[in-house]
Chain A
Amino acid sequence: MSVKEVDLKQDPACTTGLSNYLWSDHPDENKWADCVHCGMCLESCPTYEITGQEQHSPRGRVHLIKSVAEGKLAVNEQFMDPVFACLDCRACTTACPADVDVGGLIEEARGQIRQAMPLTGWKGTVSKVVLKGLFPHQNRLNSVGSLLRFYQKSGMQKVVRKTKLINIMPQHLVDMEAIMPEVKEPVRKKYKNENVIKAKGDTKAEVSFLTGCVMDVMFSDINEATINVLTRNGNDVTIPKNQTCCGALHVHAGDRETGRKLAKQNIEAFKDSDKIIVNAAGCGCMLKEYGELFREVDTEWHEKAEEFAAKVEDISKYLHDTGYEKPKAELNTRITYHDACHLAHGQGVRQEPRDLLLNIPGVEMVHMPNSDRCCGSAGIYNITNPEMASEVLENKMQNVPEDVEMISMGNPGCMLQMAMGVQKQGRNQKVVHTVQLLDWAYQKEDGKKEGH
């Protein structure tokens, strides 16, 4: 957005005195001031589509968040429900004529709720164990990864499935278990002794790579593919050692404090980088929004955060913008493309990955209607709101063409969720990351060359 009547908006709010937001870093009044309640966002919202209820719509949520600031509502369970039912998919931001940052408001409101009402019970456990205890700690994640590898390789998986041990797990965890990717060695482990992974051929540029926490454990082959594709196209790749989880899941969950902690660590870790490449849309979007975290708290970090954010780029957009070698080998496959919310709505990256795919010889792209509709993964939403997530997924799967061999996308969360959809519907489709397809095409090309 270019022109804004900044002077109009910086007037003191007459509502502040009544506000029921009691903690610092409260939802930004300027964000909701843009909302004129026109309702153009309604149909873009997956949770409104399912419930038909205003409080589960972007406009409704903004209205509620505003009502708390006006002192009409308290921060309580009833307020929490709609705010946490949001998928944070950002489709409303795309639909909004006034560019209202609903996602930002939701995250800020979640921050307030989490401070007012710390999580308890099973969700609290998940949050504590997974978000705080696991994601920020690469070695612990790796251990989990190893366990999973053990689980899959040792035959335990078969045993669990056969012995019906699986029957005592909650249904949504059973569904998740069924589609768990085969876990390989993380790239950070693999390249831990290399400062720079050199470009194949001449070096054109140097980039840093955020490997992502879960990504590197669960989807290390995608990270591998990303490195392959980058080095093949003349990029020296570094993997800064002190990098950590991006914090998206924490911020989505309202834990902005941890979010800030992780952000600071990453900002430090990447301070010497000119370009930061991400292959997970959710992480990319978060990194680009680090500035928001320091709007009110630790403001001395704000500028650094903005500088950091400006260097972040999704792999597909980076390749597209800087030029890359079009593969020559044919893949001969029918695919469709799903727009990850945090790529399409969050970063405005839509056409670039499609171009990457279409430039692979033999790839036939089948149109997916409503391709930028959320799949329901939304970070750990599918763990915390399983019912809604599964309805969102069901709606999504109705739009996924049946006559394709692969479904390509740019976010690991979506990949797990979509794989679950494929599994549930008994389909036989491979869920892949865009960059993987490109890597395979290169490999095939090279294989041919070597064969000759």
Chain B
Amino acid sequence: MITADLLTGLQSFLPQDQVIEGGKQSHPLGNSGQVTVFPKSEEEIASVLKYANDNGKTIYVEGAGTKKGFGGLTESADILLSLAEYKGIVEHVPGDMTLTVKAGTCFAELQDYLAQYKQKIALDPFVPESSTIGGIIASNESGPKRLGYGSARDAVIGLRIVYPDGKVIRAGGKVVKNVAGYDMNKLFIGSMGTLGVVSEVTIKLRPLPKYESLILLSFPEGNFEQIRAFAIKLLDSMMEPVSLELMSPSLSERLTGKTRYTLAIGFEDVENSVHYQEEFVRNIQPDNSELEILIKEHAQRFWDNFYSIAPYPAAHGGSKETNAVLKIGVINLDVLNVLKESQILGDSHNLLVEAHGGLGHGLCQVNLKGAGEDVVSAIHEVRDAITKLGGYVVVKHLPFALRKEVSVWGDKPAHFFMLEGIKTKVDPNRILNPKRFVGGI
């Protein structure tokens, strides 16, 4: 009944083929809708939000749905707002090195397009071939090359956001430096769509590197002190790696065939400079470590594989095993402890654990695979350990049924009242992505 009303209501201002009844309610990852809408314009997005706001309906927002397992404590909202049909480049000025694009545009397609101009978006999210730019921004996705290029908060210079009441707000602008008013962009990056629907993104671009290589430095003995000492030496040098990502033996095995702790050290610059830095690494290479250099397409192929390791919805087949992905933040060099901890965790909980983390920025990703209850208890355990290190654990991916058993975002921070205050101000009726964010926001 209710669904029928919804359908009628939405179809009163959206073409019929853009409003689809439910269908996916039983998705194991949750975050579905009674009705799915596919707006094709900003006005349509605005009218859906206004409709929901006026009628007390809840909305989940998604791009390609790659983050369906990320947060959210209800199986289904009234409306699933898909931005899959709201895509395309709005403006690209090669000379200004800026790009404005609609939120539903696929990330990999953007990079392919920009490559013609020898430019790129300096972000390296997982599953780029399906992820949309809007989803990447809303969930603040980043990868190993964050060390060299920063994250979404460093790249985004402007946003258009549709507010819950349907008004459209611009944040930032089209220039690379801007301090006019509050830096509202930051509020929406990583807000999991709980404040507004990002409809358009303006990003500053970087030139494609003239040359690139990747050093895989593996440590057969798995001596953490040795890895640590090497990392410190490299970080204290004047070399400029774009990544310094430590991979667990299990992950390394999948990507390089070697079951060893392996550092993925990327260099991107003019060729002379890259070779010079390779040489530097060779010179400080620890005893008993093995070094392999992948150049150009070979390096790119490695990264392509790397970005597809995560168990995202598309890969969620009939497997009985539960997949979980954790994002763990610690003080840079504590990444070593996280990897050590997750190794122990895998053994004690009978899980397959693949972990990696950046020694230059402190962010790790730990993928767990095994029985549901083992995964849940492992998450609890790892969170205890990480809290002691002063870090945090966010569960980036977990089936809906289990999300209730762990706290996706961890405990409320002491300053939660401010987050709550912002949410209440912007989305007083709490129609957008309810309970999908920290502390039930």
Contact flag (A, B; Cβ within 8 A): no
